[in-house]
């Protein structure tokens, strides 16, 4: 393709290829098209043969085959494992019912035999055992006296694998007595049960295979009709464009922006329209370069703005050493996901009380950072203007003020934003710690044992639903020898890999 490409617009090798392995039959050739030689002086925007690599016949059916090879084994394994599990559960249930029936039968026979002096009349006992032999599954039965000696036996103990038999026993307790004078052991074969289970398993397997084949056939037909056929029309149009016949591809009905083939087809049609004129194509290239430059400039401005927003948010946050004189040690880990974020904390000592606040606002990045500013303003007013000192009262105030600030208090707001918050208040003189939480919990480590003090499940600031439950009172937590942790879901939602041989998974509250 290098001999046909324009030197002013270099083309990447195989840039329009990759639709599948080369087929033996050229689709475009079968439709009556032939390659054309390159002409000198042709506009740089398009030369004959430029789309040859894309329009040359490709085995598009390989897409359907690839889907078949990728999807069918997974579906087959899942369905077969599911059917095997169902068959195993059904077999166990039937085996349990089978055993219970045998136990009932053994109990009834034992009750009929359990008469005083039963072991002195073997003939009468044998008659009862002979009745058991009428069951097709019967294999062996034996009566034992209190010392374990076999008095009467019927049938022969089979020499087979244990799971092919069902063993049941019943004590011989005379009427009105409490002491067993012997026992009855009955052995039944489970061959009929296993045969029934195998029959059901084979039937389920056949139905599963039929459903899988139906699914695969439907998938294959759908792919050929809605994907392969439309891609072939697109390839034919490419061949037309190669011969400078500016053909477009007809859309199947209304344009669907979520359909990738519709998007590709529309893009191809737009490209063909743009290639009708060399000057227009060159202008498109210049516009593209200008758009890239603008995008780069816009991206740089956005990054710079977000970086400056981080400086602003960091300046709003308190000093990590704000509570050093309160007699407690505070460690803070604050790492936003996107330079700025919706996680917020506050440390302050007011009137001899030390306040530790952790909040998780709705959203990530800039939206979450905006909410933290609203929370910071509301918290400052609650502490210094309204003089609230109770964690539960502060949470209630935050709920009201944030909802009013976001216009989510019944005035027609379309937003649904809020925050989860946990507040600890340390009284250095009284040596007490009070906690209240809405959506966040307090983790206490004492003597190597972790305890989680849960807050209310509902967050703050969200539109009212009538089922809101806010903390009504503070929780007093003993502080002697304890370490306390307030954390957002940014910790528990981290992906961890405790075992390198196993896939990564969420850490979760328990792991933390």
- The encoded tokens of residue 132 equal 């058991």
Q: How far apart are the first and last CA of the chain?
A: 59
Q: What's the pLDDT at 2? A: 39
Q: What's the pLDDT at 286? A: 86
Q: What's the pLDDT at 422? A: 95
- The encoded tokens of residue 282 equal 């060159």
Q: Quick one: which of 488, 402, 474 has its CA closest to 440?
A: 488
Query: How far is the C-alpha of 370 from the C-alpha of 419, rounded, in Å?
Result: 12
Q: What's the pLDDT at 101? A: 82
Please give the model's pTM, rounded to 2 decimal places.
0.44
Q: Give pLDDT < 50 ranges for the chain.
A: 1-24, 28, 33-58
Domain-wise residue ranges, the chain: 109-192, 277-316, 319-511
Query: How far is the C-alpha of 59 from the C-alpha of 21, rounded, in Å?
Result: 6
Query: How far is the C-alpha of 59 from the C-alpha of 67, rounded, in Å?
Result: 14
Q: What's the pLDDT at 17? A: 39
Q: What's the pLDDT at 339? A: 84
- The encoded tokens of residue 72 equal 């069918």
Domain 319-511 -> CATH class:
alpha beta
Residues 6+ apart with CB under 8 A from 435: 391, 422, 423, 424, 425, 442, 453, 455, 474, 475, 477
Query: How far is the C-alpha of 360 from the C-alpha of 396, rounded, in Å?
Result: 16
Name the 3-class secondary structure at 323: coil
What does the DSSP 8-state code read for residue 185?
A: E
Alpha-carbon distances, residue 248 vs 233, 269, 275, 348, 413 (angstroms): 10, 5, 12, 68, 47
Angle at CA 309, nearest 5°, toward 308 and 313? 120
């Amino acid at each position: 393709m290098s001999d046909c490409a324009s030197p002013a617009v270099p083309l990447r090798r195989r840039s329009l290829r990759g639709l599948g392995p080369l087929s033996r039959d050229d689709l475009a050739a079968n439709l009556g098209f032939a390659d054309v030689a390159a002409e000198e002086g042709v506009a740089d925007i398009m030369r004959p043969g430029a789309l040859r690599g894309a329009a040359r016949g490709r085995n598009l059916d390989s897409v359907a085959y690839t889907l078949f090879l990728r999807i069918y084994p997974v579906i087959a394994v899942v369905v077969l494992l599911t059917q095997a599990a169902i068959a195993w559960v059904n077999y166990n249930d039937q085996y349990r019912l089978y055993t219970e029936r045998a136990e009932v039968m053994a109990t009834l026979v034992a009750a009929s035999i359990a008469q005083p002096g039963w072991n002195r009349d073997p003939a009468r006992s044998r008659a009862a055992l002979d009745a058991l032999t009428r069951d097709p599954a019967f294999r062996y039965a034996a009566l034992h006296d209190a010392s374990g000696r076999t008095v009467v036996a019927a049938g022969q103990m089979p020499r087979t694998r244990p799971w092919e038999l069902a063993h049941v026993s019943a004590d011989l307790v005379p009427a009105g007595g409490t002491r067993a004078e012997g026992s009855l052991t009955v052995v039944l074969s489970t061959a009929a049960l296993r045969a029934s289970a195998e029959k059901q398993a084979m039937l389920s397997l056949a139905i599963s295979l039929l459903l899988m084949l139906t699914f695969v056939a439907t998938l294959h037909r759908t792919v050929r009709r809605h994907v392969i056929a439309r891609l072939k029309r697109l390839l034919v149009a490419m061949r037309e464009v190669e011969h400078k016949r500016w053909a477009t591809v007809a859309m199947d009905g209304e344009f669907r922006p979520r359909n990738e083939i519709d998007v590709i087809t529309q893009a191809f049609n737009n490209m063909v329209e743009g290639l009708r004129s060399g000057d227009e194509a060159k202008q498109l290239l210049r516009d593209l370069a200008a758009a890239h430059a603008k995008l780069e400039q816009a991206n740089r401005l956005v990054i710079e703005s977000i970086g400056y927003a981080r400086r602003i948010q960091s300046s709003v946050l308190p000093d990590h050493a704000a509570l050093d004189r309160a007699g407690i040690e505070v460690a803070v880990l604050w790492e936003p996901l996107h330079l700025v974020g919706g996680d917020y904390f506050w440390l302050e000592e007011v009137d001899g009380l030390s306040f530790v606040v952790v909040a998780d606002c709705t959203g990530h990045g800039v939206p979450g950072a905006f909410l933290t500013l609203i929370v910071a303003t509301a918290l400052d007013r609650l502490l210094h203007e309204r003089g609230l000192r109770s964690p539960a009262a502060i949470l209630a105030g935050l709920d009201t003020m944030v909802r009013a600030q976001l216009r989510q208090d019944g005035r027609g707001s379309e937003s649904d934003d809020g925050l989860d918050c946990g507040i600890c208040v340390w009284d250095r003189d009284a040596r007490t710690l009070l906690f209240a939480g809405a959506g966040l919990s307090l983790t206490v480590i004492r003597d190597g044992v972790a305890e989680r003090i849960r807050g209310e499940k509902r967050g703050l600031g969200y539109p009212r639903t009538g089922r809101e439950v806010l903390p009504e009172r503070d929780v007093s937590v003993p502080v002697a020898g304890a370490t306390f942790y307030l954390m957002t879901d940014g910790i528990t939602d981290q992906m961890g890999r405790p075992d390198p041989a196993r896939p990564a998974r969420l850490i979760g509250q328990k792991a933390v």
